[in-house]
Structure 1
Amino acid sequence: MVVEDKQVQVKVDGKMESTLKRWTFSKLSEYKWMTYNEVVDYTTNLGAGFRKLGIEPKGRIVIYVPTSREWQLCAFGAFSQSMQPVTAYDTLGESGVLHAMNEAAADAIFVKADQMPILARIMDDIKTVKHVFYFQDAYGMPDGCAEALEKVRARFPVHTLDEVHDLGRANPVARQLPAGDDIALVMYTSGSTGSPKGVLISHQGIISVAGGIHLFIAPYLDYGTDVLLSYLPLSHVLAFFVDVYCIYSGIRVGYGSPRTLTDESVRECRGDIRELRPMVMLGVPQVWSTIRAGMLKQVNRSSWLVRKLFYGAVELKNALRNHSLPHQFMDNIVFKKTQDATGGRLKFVITGGAPINRDVQKLMNAALCPMIQGYGMTEASGLLAVQLPHDATFNNVGAPCPSVEMKLVDVPEANYYAGDGKGEVWVRGPSVFRGYLGNDELTRETVTEDGWLKTGDIGQWTAQGQLAIIDRRKNLVKLASGEYVALEALEATYKNSLYIHNICVVADGRMVQPCAIVNIDPQQIDQLADKAGVAYRNPSEIAASPEFVRAVLADLHAVARHNGLTKLETLAAIRVDAELWAPENGKLTPAMKLKRPEIAAHNHTQLMEMYAQMGISD
């Protein structure tokens, strides 16, 4: 680790003052690789070690670590003996990981040393776990974790992952490989509307998705040569199935972290992207929206001529791609700097988890590389539809994956009918999950007797046979006029504002127009406040400033006009939440989706103010 003291400017009582702030940066080594044969040997020994410790086939191991090589080694070690990993986001708090352990009746838990204090605090409430496994990175045991380790060791046998591997190597057993119908893992959803649900995914489901995507994507990859940068949570189905596909097909996987992706977040080394120089990279819409905002802020600080050339080049390159005309010549002229920042080898990037905004995808296509949008869900083992890298269209998620059959079903209350090419997306096939852990009633509500999975998403077929996701069924809200608005679609549009870090649109049957709680990155408050001529002393004060709120709303209205939103989709009022939403403070899921009830509860007073402003009595 590298520690630096920096002078930073902060606003105090309306004036900018200089203060000293200590920053800690990571110092990383070069990537170190394992061959496929080495992985097979390691995971076989690891599985044997699990067996020696008394974990039987179909036993469960909770994986509560960040995305890393160790995450996958533990999972494949469990697979080698027909054991079932139980996924738990490493950002889950005490109650979340305790819920996963106890509901799944886990035999063991695998943690990173950093999380040992969490385990120490909840260990008296753990019901079935008999062993604790852990690993630590090159920096060693973090402060306070050694003491927590000793507390945990007083209650459970504790082993490093390498110790379990060595135990298995000394006590080899034959691999006990699972059948296709066997449960591969219990994957917990991110819990955007309540407690996470344990989804039972079969080995057949995982491999059917890998085989399905292979039929689509094989012509665009060089197997044995291409590299994927994996940094999204492996406890999320998007990152997991992409990793598994790479392992299935022979693509190298290098692991990174959101905290060390760029050069700005490390010292005396390169960030993960420039060090690995990947050909493929994943991201959720929030990540790409942040990257887009950063790019455009740099461009908008340039001269009028530079801005004109850049925006014109984005439109021209997309038009050339759309007509299958040569466009690569523009990369060295206009976009070389942005492409070099990602290593200069990206073939395409994948976005999933929620709909991506057209303007974000358009910019990524031009300034970086083709962005393909995928659509999937945990209950379908990951993938349902995906665009192909040569697809230059927008606002769709491509054609259905060969691992499923798909249909649209009428939603009459919202005036969506399959005969018109609109409705709820239902899918069927080998990748459909085997049910929710311990909740047969919810399983029966979600999967029909003849095997159709009700996704809850509203879809529409395009003229080319692609699927466009309009919104979530539960997020379609009828206004006082009787017309529906799609909350997620509106949020994706309003995120085009360069000042908006995140937004939660609110609507119900009493309203003629929606309102919203807006989240603004504190680093951008200065720029917008100066533009609006509003003085302030701290972020909380300006969030409540009527002049500032009007300036933000005016910017959002400009976004609405630019994107052709109707009057009923235009925000009637907003309030600003000065606290950045994040998984750590419970406002976002680990997959970066809004936790609407928590955001509403946190902003109850502001919501009441907006209701009063709109003439609504609560």
Structure 2
Amino acid sequence: MSVCYSKEVPNTGSETETPTHRFHTTADRIIDRAAPDVTTIYQALLHGQKVRPEFNILGKRDVIGTVSEDKEVQHKVDGKMETVVKKWSYFKLSEYKWMNYDQAVDFTKMLGAGLVSLGMKKDSRVLIYAPTSREWQLCAMGAFSQSMQIVTAYDTLGESGLLHAMNQAKVETAFLKADQMPILARIMGDIETVKNVVYYRDVYGMPKGCEEAIEMVKTKFSSVHTMEEVVEMGRANPLELNIADPQEIAMVMYTSGSTGKPKGVLICHQGVMAVAGGIHEFIAPYIEYGKDVILSYLPLSHVLAFFVDMYCMYSGIGIGYGTPRTLTDESVRECKGDIKELRPMIMMGVPQVWNTIRAGMLKQVDKSGWLVRKLFYNAVELKNGLRHYNLPHNFLDGIVFKKTKEATGGRLKFVITGGAPVNKNVQRLMNAALCPMIHGYGLTEASGLVSVQLPDDPTFNNVGAPCPSIEMKLVDVPEAKYFARNGQGEVWVRGPSIFKGYLDNEELTKETITEDGWLKTGDIGEWTPQGQLSIIDRKKNLVKMVTGEYIALESLEATYKNSLFIQNICVFADSRMSQPCAIVNIDGAQIAHIADEAGVSYNNNHPQEIATNPDFVRAVLSDLQRVAKRNNLTKQETLTAIVVDAELWSPENDLLTPAMKLKRSDIRDHNKDALEAMYAHMGLE
């Protein structure tokens, strides 16, 4: 193919560095703003209001009730299996209710003025500890309307992480959903600087214990108000906007922290708006502004969801908020799930979301007759082949892929995946059966986006060209045998979107950013012949085997996720081993079904007992080894032993980060005994 996605900057590069690359249409410049007069986040909202004041920009659904259903669950009691009836609750939701630009600007101006009434001022910090929602975004914009900074904390961060963020960032106001009040009540004795607490609640109400927690919080903080009360304070005491300068800090965004305490990343206003301008440079031809909508449900405290929301707010893409719990029709009652209700044109997801969708899709296909299966798989190959050569291919949608498209509302133009590498086979299936999947790569330290594919890019195994807001080069990593002369090396990026440093950690900041402004990402990349970036390793996850050769844990995990048996996998290796081993995660709710598919007999055992059944473990390992062979892995990359964990890994049980990345040390500790037994079986001390 003749398409070139990035260009080399003349007179750059050396023996240890590749030439610097920039996006192909902006090779002579780097985008540093969304528009000439849009260099701060609140200006993005004002820009949207100026262009289309009555466009519905922020949508939400109210919880109007719950529906309870009885379900029979098998439990082992005194050595015998018994059937227990449990009540399961499902939400009943309203249709989407929208706030247009005029209403959003009015609300956030009044909220900002209300925060000033509480004693906040320029550069005061507001911590947002809440799930993704319209209220989350309104709070952020309200703070920005008066040059305050926000501090982001995942709603699954946990008590110690939340306390660390509050105290390190010297937060003055904490904003949270009422559901989080019990957590605040438990740690309030150790909170050092918070003076005000602002909260919101669902229309339906609050879970048990929240009202009592609010009363407890009032004993510590004299200023405790609902969001609506603060807005009314602002309405009674209106103020002119006080918008920050472009280089001033907009937020302290805490990274999810797969090891150690979360780090506070300092991101300025212009950094976010440079990303927005960079996105606009290449995505505009694929969007109908003032009409298209996106479903936002990933954590807004993660940079991926945040910068996408900011771009949508600037450019005029309606944002409909949903939750992982209510996405599908199966997860709600007496209403449609968020996807079918909103019928979005754009959706985001992390690889685990797409892996789950792929597995569900293929399991349905495999239940069909041989003719349907053959038709489906051949159609996937045919459509991807036609896309590759830019030939007509949409005729297959109505013949083969009609049901899969209808499951997401039937209007998707493309989906975005980020947060970790997505497997090629997942992307191939999504491209064919759903819509184009564009793979992006970003970092909190780069205000979000570093590189991304275009929706009409038919290639795989890459994360596209450098975003127009940065420039990029690859630098030698000699200890792992990655050299610039081979088009490989550590990814370094530079531009106006690079962060201002880590809060209260100058030493780490200097280790991460060079004196001339290059951010050292820690990721290992490779240039494709067409100027795209492929992420092939991470420096921290390169492990030297007993042979002296390195293997890449994350890359292997992405490959092994091709197995339809597993939900997740954490590969382990060290210098004692000639081959790696792994802890495999299989949801306990599905483990008996998977055992049936593998032809393993069992006697209605508890999921954890099936997980330790030697026949079951061998069946899963054999399937993973078949995946290794199909994907041409070497012997030293092929798993030699596994442990099965039947407790689903999630942020809630602290085995995944809120961005759905593995917490290796916690997974290892959680499976310590089984892991040690596996090591002993492998002959390791």
TM-score norm. by structure 2 comes to 0.89
Distance 1:255 1:43 in 2: 18
1:230-245 matches, within 5 Å, as 230-245=296-311
User: Deviations along 1:379-411, whole A, 9 cap, x unmatched?
Assistant: 000000000000010000000001001000000
The equivalent position to 1:484 in structure 2, one of 529, 550, 573, is 550
Deviation at residue 6 of structure 1 after TM alignment: 3.1
Deviation at residue 19 of structure 1 after TM alignment: 4.0
Deviation at residue 616 of structure 1 after TM alignment: 1.7
The answer for the alignment partner of 1:379 in structure 2 is 445
The amino acid across from 1:579 in the alignment is: E
The answer for the alignment partner of 1:5 in structure 2 is 69
Contact persistence 2:67–2:333 (CA under 8 A) = no
Deviation at residue 155 of structure 1 after TM alignment: 1.5
Deviation at residue 116 of structure 1 after TM alignment: 0.5
Distance 2:323 2:630 in 1: 35
Question: What is the DSSP-based 3-state SS (H/G/I as helix, E as strand, rest coil) of the residue aligned with 2:70?
Answer: strand
Deviation at residue 15 of structure 1 after TM alignment: 9.0
The amino acid across from 1:98 in the alignment is: L
The answer for the alignment partner of 2:407 in structure 1 is 341
Question: What is the DSSP-based 3-state SS (H/G/I as helix, E as strand, rest coil) of the residue aligned with 1:85?
Answer: strand
Question: What is the DSSP-based 3-state SS (H/G/I as helix, E as strand, rest coil) of the residue aligned with 2:501?
Answer: coil
> Is the counterpart of residue 41 in structure 1 residue 109 in structure 2?
no
The answer for the alignment partner of 2:199 in structure 1 is 134
Distance 1:334 1:8 in 2: 36
The equivalent position to 2:639 in structure 1, one of 558, 566, 571, is 571
1:301-316 matches, within 5 Å, as 301-316=367-382
The answer for the alignment partner of 2:680 in structure 1 is 612
Deviation at residue 9 of structure 1 after TM alignment: 5.6
Contact persistence 1:206–1:381 (CA under 8 A) = yes
The answer for the alignment partner of 1:352 in structure 2 is 418
Contact persistence 1:188–1:199 (CA under 8 A) = yes
Question: What is the DSSP-based 3-state SS (H/G/I as helix, E as strand, rest coil) of the residue aligned with 1:34?
Answer: strand
The answer for the alignment partner of 1:410 in structure 2 is 476
Deviation at residue 585 of structure 1 after TM alignment: 0.9
Q: CA RMSD in A?
A: 1.3
The answer for the alignment partner of 1:88 in structure 2 is 153
The answer for the alignment partner of 2:602 in structure 1 is 535
> Is the counterpart of residue 584 in structure 1 residue 584 in structure 2?
no
Distance 2:71 2:115 in 1: 51
Contact persistence 1:499–1:524 (CA under 8 A) = no
Deviation at residue 17 of structure 1 after TM alignment: 6.4
Distance 1:615 1:230 in 2: 48
Deviation at residue 262 of structure 1 after TM alignment: 0.4
Bigger drift between 297-306 and 594-603 goes to: 297-306
> Is the counterpart of residue 201 in structure 1 residue 267 in structure 2?
yes
Deviation at residue 96 of structure 1 after TM alignment: 1.1
Contact persistence 1:3–1:22 (CA under 8 A) = no
The amino acid across from 2:593 in the alignment is: Q
Distance 1:161 1:9 in 2: 41
The answer for the alignment partner of 2:28 in structure 1 is none
Contact persistence 1:7–1:18 (CA under 8 A) = no
Question: What is the DSSP-based 3-state SS (H/G/I as helix, E as strand, rest coil) of the residue aligned with 1:229?
Answer: strand
User: Deviations along 1:299-344, whole A, 9 cap, x unmatched?
Assistant: 1111122111111111111111111111111111111111101000
Distance 1:483 1:376 in 2: 28
Contact persistence 2:73–2:86 (CA under 8 A) = no
The answer for the alignment partner of 2:46 in structure 1 is none
Question: What is the DSSP-based 3-state SS (H/G/I as helix, E as strand, rest coil) of the residue aligned with 1:522?
Answer: coil
Contact persistence 1:458–1:469 (CA under 8 A) = yes
The amino acid across from 2:274 in the alignment is: S
Distance 1:40 1:309 in 2: 51
Distance 2:157 2:589 in 1: 27
Identity of aligned residues (%): 70
Distance 1:10 1:293 in 2: 25
The answer for the alignment partner of 1:324 in structure 2 is 390
The answer for the alignment partner of 1:72 in structure 2 is 137
Unaligned runs of 5+ in 2: 1-64
The amino acid across from 2:272 in the alignment is: I
Distance 1:8 1:478 in 2: 49
Contact persistence 1:372–1:389 (CA under 8 A) = yes
Deviation at residue 141 of structure 1 after TM alignment: 2.4
Question: What is the DSSP-based 3-state SS (H/G/I as helix, E as strand, rest coil) of the residue aligned with 1:77?
Answer: helix
User: Deviations along 1:1-20, whole A, 9 cap, x unmatched?
Assistant: 33333343637599986542
Deviation at residue 450 of structure 1 after TM alignment: 0.8
Distance 1:106 1:4 in 2: 40
Deviation at residue 605 of structure 1 after TM alignment: 1.6
The answer for the alignment partner of 2:215 in structure 1 is 150
Distance 1:328 1:11 in 2: 49
Distance 2:600 2:295 in 1: 43
Distance 1:220 1:185 in 2: 30
Deviation at residue 526 of structure 1 after TM alignment: 1.5
The answer for the alignment partner of 1:210 in structure 2 is 276
Question: What is the DSSP-based 3-state SS (H/G/I as helix, E as strand, rest coil) of the residue aligned with 1:385?
Answer: strand
The answer for the alignment partner of 1:124 in structure 2 is 189
Question: What is the DSSP-based 3-state SS (H/G/I as helix, E as strand, rest coil) of the residue aligned with 2:93?
Answer: coil
Deviation at residue 173 of structure 1 after TM alignment: 1.3
Distance 1:497 1:6 in 2: 33
Distance 2:81 2:346 in 1: 42
Bigger drift between 516-525 and 17-26 goes to: 17-26
> Is the counterpart of residue 437 in structure 1 residue 471 in structure 2?
no
Unaligned runs of 5+ in 1: none
The amino acid across from 1:266 in the alignment is: V
Contact persistence 1:9–1:16 (CA under 8 A) = no
Deviation at residue 452 of structure 1 after TM alignment: 0.5
> Is the counterpart of residue 599 in structure 1 residue 667 in structure 2?
yes
The equivalent position to 1:274 in structure 2, one of 333, 337, 340, is 340
Contact persistence 2:266–2:503 (CA under 8 A) = yes
Bigger drift between 517-526 and 383-392 goes to: 517-526
The answer for the alignment partner of 2:166 in structure 1 is 101
The answer for the alignment partner of 1:388 in structure 2 is 454
Question: What is the DSSP-based 3-state SS (H/G/I as helix, E as strand, rest coil) of the residue aligned with 1:106?
Answer: coil
Deviation at residue 117 of structure 1 after TM alignment: 0.5
Contact persistence 2:67–2:92 (CA under 8 A) = no
Contact persistence 1:351–1:373 (CA under 8 A) = yes
Distance 2:492 2:345 in 1: 33
Contact persistence 2:588–2:608 (CA under 8 A) = no
The answer for the alignment partner of 1:366 in structure 2 is 432
Distance 2:675 2:76 in 1: 28
Contact persistence 1:10–1:18 (CA under 8 A) = yes
Contact persistence 2:71–2:88 (CA under 8 A) = no
Contact persistence 1:5–1:20 (CA under 8 A) = no
User: Deviations along 1:476-503, whole A, 9 cap, x unmatched?
Assistant: 1111111111101110111111111110
The answer for the alignment partner of 1:561 in structure 2 is 629
Deviation at residue 528 of structure 1 after TM alignment: 2.7
Higher relative contact order (CA 8 A, sep 6+): 2
Contact persistence 1:499–1:521 (CA under 8 A) = no
Distance 1:46 1:523 in 2: 44
User: Deviations along 1:53-79, whole A, 9 cap, x unmatched?
Assistant: 110100000000100000010001111
Distance 1:89 1:12 in 2: 36
